[in-house]
Structure 1
Amino acid sequence: MIARVIGAALALAALTATPIAAQEPGTAVPPAPFIAADFQVPTLVEGPGFKLVPLGPALVDIDFAAYMSSIEHLQQTFTRSKGWPRADITTAEAMTDMLTEQGRFARRESFAYAVLTPDGTRERGCVYVYPGTVPGYDAEVRLWVTKAEFDAGFDAELYAWTKAWIAKDWRFNNVAYPGRAIPWETWDRLGAK
């Protein structure tokens, strides 16, 4: 009985306590939200010859097929790293990635979209909308397409479409496009500050 009373008292104290950040002057305040609470995040966007939908477990197979078809291309153009994609990615890792992206989307932390054919049977690439990590930019947008789509000229088309979509439909003041509008070397220097 005493343990229950003490537990209830502690729970009540936790509910009514003033947050530490409000108690101590100079304590770091959480950053402003990435996007406004009333912003309706797009969940289906149709473009010319493609559509964007949030990445998630239902897309694990076609997403895996897309990036595994273009390992070297993506290592050189998107990640600049041998860590992703790599030839030994397991299906479990692929699913974990999909669940992670779905969770970030649901929590409104970042927004990862698959770029699919209109019928949804093949992934042509991906578009990612992230919070800005470099002072002066409130968002970062990155995108990739498979090697076959790159060779067909779709990369330039998707980049131009994405810039127009972000400018029209999202509420950002200054968007960075690392590796595109900002060369990687410049972006790396900005991030090092």
Structure 2
Amino acid sequence: MDSANFVPAHFAVPAQLETNRFRLRMLSIADVEKDYEAVIESAERLRTEFPQWDGWPREGFTIEENLRDLQKHQREFEQREAFAYTVVSLDESRVLGCLYLYPSPEETIDAEVLMWVREQDYHQGLSLILYSTVRDWISEAWPFQQVTYPNWPELT
């Protein structure tokens, strides 16, 4: 599915999902500082877990580079080409990770879902909770029939 037709025109993209542990909402440029902190804390694992991102975040990754990334994600969300959600604590004081919904390059797959949690929260088991929650949410709230989770193959 190409990004121009990623979701049907009539589909109301979910603004957020809230659980008793975290909230998912659109990742925006307003999140730059907290997002940058989470990315830098988790940089080594992100480079390992997402080899398709070609070494992102690179050594020396700057907050300005992060702002450009967030501008791109926000623009894609607003144009309904892809959807990046920040995973935040309920009080919005910390970014806990990110969720990305992308059109799949494979014709038979509607969407690819990638997600990560910040290093500290990863070691506290938040990753599995996030993945399980997102899998159910995608199934119930999104118009996709075939979804793949490239960095979590057990969910595919």
Q: SS state of the match for residue 97, structure 1? A: helix
Gaps of 5+ in 2: none
TM-score scaled by length of structure 1: 0.75
Alignment of 1:1-193 (within 5 A): 33-79=5-51, 83-181=55-153
- Percent identity of paired positions between Structure 1 and Structure 2: 36
Distance (whole Å) between structure 2 residues aligned to residue 42 and residue 81 of structure 1 = 26
Deviations 1:83-139 (A, max 9, x none): 211231122211111111110001100000000000111011101111111231011
Task: Measure the CA separation in 2 of the matches of 1:120 and 1:75.
Answer: 26
Aligned residues: 154
Q: Hey, what's the Cα distance between the residues in 1 that align with 2:111 and 2:92?
A: 27
Higher RCO (Cα < 8 Å, 6 or more apart): 2
Which amino acid is 1:145 matched to? Answer: V
Residues 90 and 138 from structure 1, CA distance in 2 versus in 1: closer, same or farther, beyond 3 angstroms?
same
1:148 deviates by 1.1
Deviation at 1:76, TM superposition (A): 1.2
Flag structure 1 segments of 5+ consecutive residues without an equivalent: 1-29, 184-193
Give the alignment's TM-score, normalised by structure 2. 0.91
Q: CA deviation at 1:182?
A: 6.1
Specify the SS of the correspondent of 2:96.
strand
1:11-57, CA deviations, whole angstroms, 9 ceiling, x for partnerless residues? xxxxxxxxxxxxxxxxxxx8861101011111221123100111111
Is the CA contact 1:34–1:109 (under 8 Å) kept in the aligned structure 2? yes
Deviates more, 1:81-90 or 1:111-120: 81-90
Alpha-carbon contact 1:53-1:114 (below 8 Å) kept: yes
Bigger radius of gyration, 1 or 2? 1
